[in-house]
Amino acid sequence: MKNEKIKLNFDFDKLADSFRKEIAEFGSLLNLIYEQQNCLVEHNPVSLLQATSKIEAQLPANQLATADRTALMQQLAEELNMEEIPLNELPGFVPSELQSLFKALVDEIVSLRFRIKNKTQIQQKLLGQAQMINSSVIEHVIPNAKLYNKHGKSLFSLSETASLL
């Protein structure tokens, strides 16, 4: 009986579309992260800056897609008189003929998030290593040089950075 009420009052097609949009945005982000990683591996600083800018430009679209999907899930939860529906439990709350579709959509979002998190962690390590290598090279070219943060304060001298290697 409750499932019949949901079918009449909730637009599951709109929810599925929001999942598809979120998947598309996360896929775009993952591709950009791979592009950034290639720039790191190829030691191409100009392309790296461009790839990083593309990632920064993509993030708002990802946040919007997630917010839209979350809002629709919240509407469904309200239809069911629930506070919220956890993402991995959603397929159990949709009509039986749509459960496999929503399971696949949820699984894809979870998979993409996991892959993005792992790639991002790898990127951070690669960037940290690249920064230390660059600092070491600069130290050899310009002894006693210092690195500065974006506010102009000295972080530490390059010789201190080189000692970390």
Question: What is the model's pTM?
Answer: 0.75
* Interval 114-156: pLDDT, tens: 999 999 998 888 877 777 776 666 666 766 666 666 676 666 5
CB atoms within 10 A of CB 163: 11
Q: Domains (ranges, CATH) in the chain?
A: 2-121 (1.20.58)
User: Which of 2, 1, 149 is closest to 82 using CA atoms?
Assistant: 2
* Interval 73-119: pLDDT, tens: 999 999 999 999 999 999 999 999 999 999 999 999 999 999 999 99
